[in-house]
Amino acid sequence: MLRYILLLAIYIPVFIVAMLIAPVLPLFAVMRDGPIDNNNGTGIGPRLPNWLFWFDTTTDNSLWGDYGWRTGHCPKFWGTQLGMTGWLWRNPACGFAWSILAYEVSPSETFTVTSSGCGLNLDKSRDRQGWFYIKSSGGAFQLRWIKTLLGKQFSLEAGWLLDVYVNDPAMLTTRPRAPFSFQPAMRTPPAP
């Protein structure tokens, strides 16, 4: 936990800088090949140059965002400066979280899952409430908490994103870096 708190103290200033400079970052984008749609394919799209990697989402998407961003969240503007800025605001300092602050997961790592009865079946895009906590044998953790109160959905994602390793143990060898996460949020819940 101490390691996470120290990394959080480093992450918050980088997060603030990322939010402030997001509107100008797309001006530096170059078209090149790389992962798209949450690393489910490859394709050419706008990506930041290597010297701006801390702010890029190139680990799994171009600046045009994933399929859900292009079709659900930002269908009219995803390919514009406004859409790319929105994507960077949705994923601030993504490259920093995936590289500098990432947790190196060992192939022999084991995980303990505790939940409010929902297992890992919590997604902020659906109106499911509850929490889960994953603890790794190496000392990393992930907490996801979602609650609807007074017509608003509150959520917190903290730790490193370990649920992918619980859901698919093959990821321990194919993607051994768990990205750092700190995402408190409040939004209007989706319509039923």
Give per-residue pLDDT as tens, 89-120: 999 999 999 999 999 999 999 999 999 877 77
Q: How far is CA 18 from the centre of its chain?
A: 14
Percent of the chain with pLDDT over 70: 95
Confidence label for 66 from pLDDT (cuts 50, 70 and 90): very high
Compute φ and ψ for 58, nearest 5 degrees. Answer: -70, -10
> What is Dmax (Cα atoms) for the chain?
46
- Entry pTM: 0.85
Q: Which residue has the higher pLDDT, 148 or 9?
A: 9
Confidence label for 192 from pLDDT (cuts 50, 70 and 90): low
Q: What is the pLDDT of residues 3-62, one digit of tens each?
A: 999 999 999 999 999 999 999 999 999 999 999 998 889 999 999 999 999 999 888 899
Nearest-angstrom CA–CA distance, 88 and 96: 13
Q: State which amino acid sits at residue 31.
A: M
The confidence score (pLDDT) of residue 125 equals 58
Residues 6 or more apart in contact with residue 58 via CB below 8 angstroms: 34, 35, 47, 48, 95
Break the chain into its structural domains and give their ranges.
2-98, 103-187
Residue appearing with tokens 């995803």: 78
- Kindly tell me if the per-residue pLDDT of 155 is higher than 80: yes
Q: How many CA atoms lie within 13 A of 180 on its CB side?
A: 25
Rg (CA), the chain: 17
Q: How far is CA 164 from the centre of its chain?
A: 12
SS3 state at 181: strand
Indicate the helix (H) or strand (E) that contains 134: strand 130-136
Nearest-angstrom CA–CA distance, 147 and 119: 15
The confidence score (pLDDT) of residue 21 equals 98
DSSP 118: S
Asked whether the beta carbons of 25 and 55 are under 8 A apart, the reply is yes
Asked whether the beta carbons of 142 and 103 are under 8 A apart, the reply is no
Tokens of 1: 């936990």
The confidence score (pLDDT) of residue 71 equals 92
Confidence label for 185 from pLDDT (cuts 50, 70 and 90): confident
Nearest-angstrom CA–CA distance, 34 and 80: 19
